[in-house]
Amino acid sequence: MISVSVRKLINRQQFEHVYQPLWDLFNWSIFGYESLVRVDGVNYVERLFQAAREEGCLYEFDLVLLESSISQFPFLEKKGRLLFVNVYPSTVLHHKFEPFLKRIIERFPYAKNRIVFELNETKAEEDIWGDDGLKAAIQTMREYGFYIAIDDVGKGASTLQKIIELQPDYVKLDRYFAQGLASNEEKQKIVSLLADYCGRKMVLVLEGIEKEVDLAQAKLLRVPAAQGYLLGKPGKLT
C-alpha cells in the first residue's frame, strides 16, 4: 500500500530523478541514460503508478514526471547522448499528449532528436496496444523528432507482434535474458535471433547486465547495447 497521495506529490513536486547509463557495446561508450523516479519513503515506485491509476491521475503523473525528467537532464553537458523516459500507452493516446510534445520542443529545443520514449507494458493497458490510434500517435511523436522504444521485451504477451507492427527504434530486452546468459544456450539462441532481426533497423538493448561473464557473452552474440548495475547504477548527473 502507498500511504502518500499521488495528487499531493504532483502538486508539491515531491520526487527526484536518477539516471542509469546505456552502453554501446561495439564502441564501448555511453550513448544514453534512462530516467528513473525516486520518492522518499517509497521503496517500490511501481506502486506509485498503480496508486495514480486508482486516483484517476495517471496521465497527469506521467506528464509531470516526463517534463521534470527532461528539465533536470543536462543535455548540453551530455552532448549527443540520448535521454530514455518511460511513458504509458494510455498517456500517448491522451488528447493532450501532442500539445505536450509541442511544449517540450518549444521549452527544450536542444532536446530535439535526443529523447526516446519507452512504452511501458502493463496488464491494465494490454488492450491499448491493439488500438490503431497508437500507431498514429507514434508516427506523430516521430514527426516531432522523438524516438520510440518497447520496454521489457520478452516479459509481456504478444511482444514480438508489437515489434513487427510498431517498428520501434529501440528494443529493450528484459533482464531475464541477461541473467545467466553465459551458461544458458537457449537464452543465447533467443538473444542472437533478436540481435540478428533488429540488425540496423532497430537497436537491441539487453537490460539487467550484472556479471562480467554475461556481458562478455552478450558481446560475443553481437548485442549492440546494454544496461545494468555492472555498467552503471542509477544516480545523479552533474
Going from N- to C-terminal start, the domains of the chain cover: 6-226
* Per-residue confidence (pLDDT) for residue 121, from 0 to 100: 78
Among 45-49, 196-200, 214-218, 225-229, the least confident range: 45-49
- What is the 3-state composition of the chain as percent helix, strand, coil, each rounded to the nearest 5? 45, 20, 35
Using 50, 70 and 90 to split pLDDT, how confident is the model at 156?
Answer: low
Q: Is the model's pLDDT at 16 over the cut of 60?
A: yes
Using 50, 70 and 90 to split pLDDT, how confident is the model at 3?
Answer: low
Mean pLDDT of 147-169: 87
CATH of 6-226, one of 3.20.20.450, 3.40.50.261, 3.30.2270.10, 3.40.50.300: 3.20.20.450
Using 50, 70 and 90 to split pLDDT, how confident is the model at 2?
Answer: low
Mean pLDDT of 131-156: 92
Burial of 16 (0-12, 13-18, 19+ CB in 10 A): middle
Q: Is the model's pLDDT at 64 over the cut of 60?
A: yes
Q: Is the model's pLDDT at 39 over the cut of 90?
A: no
pTM, to two decimals: 0.93
Above pLDDT 70, what percent of the chain? 97
Using 50, 70 and 90 to split pLDDT, how confident is the model at 48?
Answer: confident
CA distances from 231 to 4, 89, 115, 139, 159 (A): 33, 29, 21, 32, 26
* Per-residue confidence (pLDDT) for residue 220, from 0 to 100: 98
* Per-residue confidence (pLDDT) for residue 79, from 0 to 100: 86
Among 49-63, 204-218, 223-237, the least confident range: 49-63
What CA dihedral angle connects 82, 85, 118 and 176, to 10 degrees?
Answer: 90
What does pLDDT average to over the chain? 92
* Per-residue confidence (pLDDT) for residue 103, from 0 to 100: 95
Above pLDDT 90, what percent of the chain? 71
Q: Is the model's pLDDT at 93 over the cut of 80?
A: yes
d(CA 153, CA 27): 24
More confident residue, 46 or 19: 19
Q: Is the model's pLDDT at 43 over the cut of 80?
A: no
Q: In the numeric block, which cell numbers belong to residue 73?
A: 537532464
